[in-house]
Amino acid sequence: MSRKKLEEIAKINRQHAEDGTIELTQKIVEVPAKYYYDQDRWNSEIERVFKRLPLVLGISSELKKPGDYKALEVVGMPVIINRNSEGKLNAFLNICRHRGSSLVENGHGNSSHFRCPYHGWAYSDDGELIGISDNENFGDLDKECNGLIKLPIEERAGIIWVNLDHKTELSMDSFLSGYDEMLAHFKFEDWYIFDTRTLKGPNWKVAYDGYLDLYHLPVLHSETFGTEISNKAMFYAWGPHQRVISPSRLSSQDDFDGEGIDYSELPIKEVPTAVLMTGVWTIFPHVSIASFNGGGRSVLLSQLLPGASPEESYTVQYYLMEKEPNQQQRKEAKEQFDFLKYVVKEEDYATGLKLQKGLKTGKLESVLFGRNESGGQAFHEWVDKIINTKNKDLSKLF
Pick from 5, 14, 51, 98: which binds ligand FES (CB under 6 A)?
98
Beta carbon nearer to Fe ion, 6 or 244: 244
Q: Determine contact, residues 261/267, Cβ cutoff 8 Å.
A: no
348 lines the binding site for Fe ion (CB under 5 A): yes
Given 11, 88, 99, 323, the residue binding ligand FES (CB under 6 A): 99
Q: Which of 46, 67, 75, 118 binds ligand FES (CB under 6 A)?
A: 118
Could you say whether residue 232 binds ligand FES (CB under 6 A)? Answer: no
Residue 373 in the binding site for Fe ion (CB under 5 A) = no
Report the amino acid identity of residue 192.
Y
Instruction: Indicate whether 129 belongs to the interface with ligand FES (CB under 6 A).
Output: no
Task: Tell me whether residue 41 or residue 119 sits nearer to ligand FES (CB atom).
Answer: 119
CB 166, CB 149: distance < 8 Å = yes
22 interface partner picked from ligand FES, Fe ion, none, CB below 5 to 8 A per type: none
121 belongs to the binding site for ligand FES (CB under 6 A)? yes
Q: Contacts with ligand FES in 51-80 (CB under 6 A)?
A: none
**Residue whose CB is less far from ligand FES, 114 or 161:** 114
Q: What is the closest distance, in whole angstroms, from the C-beta atom of residue 104 to ligand FES in the complex?
A: 12
Residue 348 contact among Fe ion, ligand FES, none, beta carbon within 5 to 8 Å by kind: Fe ion
Residue 180: which of ligand FES, Fe ion, none does it interact with, CB under 5 to 8 A by kind?
Answer: none
> Taking the alpha carbons of 275, 278, 283, 286 in that order, is the dihedral positive or negative?
positive
**Neighbouring-strand partners of residue 155:** 160
Which x/- pattern, by CB under 5 A, does the window 194-213 give for Fe ion? ----------------x---
- Kind of pairing, strands 153-156 and 129-131? unpaired
254 binds, options Fe ion, ligand FES, none, Cβ within 5 to 8 A by partner type: none
* Binds 116: which of Fe ion, ligand FES, none (CB < 5-8 Å by kind): ligand FES
56 vs 300 by CB, closer to Fe ion: 300
| 345 in contact with ligand FES (CB under 6 A) | no
**In the bound complex, what is the minimum distance in angstroms from residue 164's beta carbon to ligand FES?**
21
25 vs 101, beta carbon nearer ligand FES: 101
Strand order in the sheet with 54-59: 54-59, 159-163, 153-156
- Binding to ligand FES, residues 250-289 (CB under 6 A): none
Contact partner, 224, from ligand FES, Fe ion, none, Cβ < 5-8 Å per class: none
Q: At what angle do helices 374-387 and 204-211 cross, to 10 degrees?
A: 140
The site that binds ligand FES (CB under 6 A) totals a number of residues, namely 9
Part of the chain binding ligand FES (CB under 6 A), chosen from 68-76, 118-126, 258-266, 267-275: 118-126
Q: Which residues bind ligand FES (CB under 6 A)?
A: 96, 98-99, 101, 116, 118-121
Q: Which residues bind Fe ion (CB under 5 A)?
A: 210, 348
